[in-house]
Amino acid sequence: MRIFKIMRLNWFSVVILVVVMVFIFIAFDFTPRARVVPLVVAIPTFLLTFASLTGEVLSDAVKRKGRNTKQIDGNSGKTDRLKMGQSQEELEAEPAFGRQQRRKLLAAFSPIAMLVLMGLFGLIGGGMIYVAAYYYINGESRFITFVTPLLLGIMMYVLFVHFLRIDLWTGLFF
């Protein structure tokens, strides 16, 4: 990651570049007819990604050149920010903001917990437990915490199990 910072590279564009390169290299193992379209698509995509990456690095270099580095470094301290007009209350509220951010991050990664629950208790059971647990941790009222997963379970049963005849009871991992 440090190299990306030093080079000012967009790591995601680099990943795309590598993926496209893999597509190109593998294509050479195919029969001549089978490799036509992969190469026709992959080579221009590779060139475009390379151009995009170069453009990003160059535009960042131009921006950095025009920026006053002293100004950026000088504004990071607490005293400087107080001088800039940020109130003491705002600065003290920062840990709470950090907690909120952490909560959002946890929420975003919660689908992993959902998959584990679905693996253990089946898609309907696991899904219901996940929704109830999420609401409980999020401080929702008891009514919402119990009724919403129940309604969701009924809806999934009627639609998928009853009408579409899909087995959602068994766990994903078994």
Which of residues 66, 108, 142, 143 is near another protein by CB under 8 A? 108
Q: Which is nearer to another protein, 7 or 51 (CB)?
A: 51
Site string for another protein, 75-104 (x = CB under 8 A): -------------------------x---x
Residue 18 binds to another protein (criterion: CB under 8 A):
no
Structure tokens that stand for 107 in this block = 């929420």
The residue within the footprint of another protein, chosen from 9, 45, 60, 81 (CB under 8 A), is 45
Least separation in angstroms between residue 90's CB and another protein is 18
In the complex, minimum distance from the CB of residue 140 to another protein, in angstroms, rounded to a whole number? 7
Please check whether residue 171 is in contact with residue 118, taking contact to mean a CB–CB distance below 8 angstroms.
yes
Q: Which is nearer to another protein, 56 or 81 (CB)?
A: 56
Q: How far apart are CA 124 and CA 132, in angstroms?
A: 12
- Reported for 160-163, long-range contacts at CB under 8 A and 24+ positions apart, including other chains, are 161/124
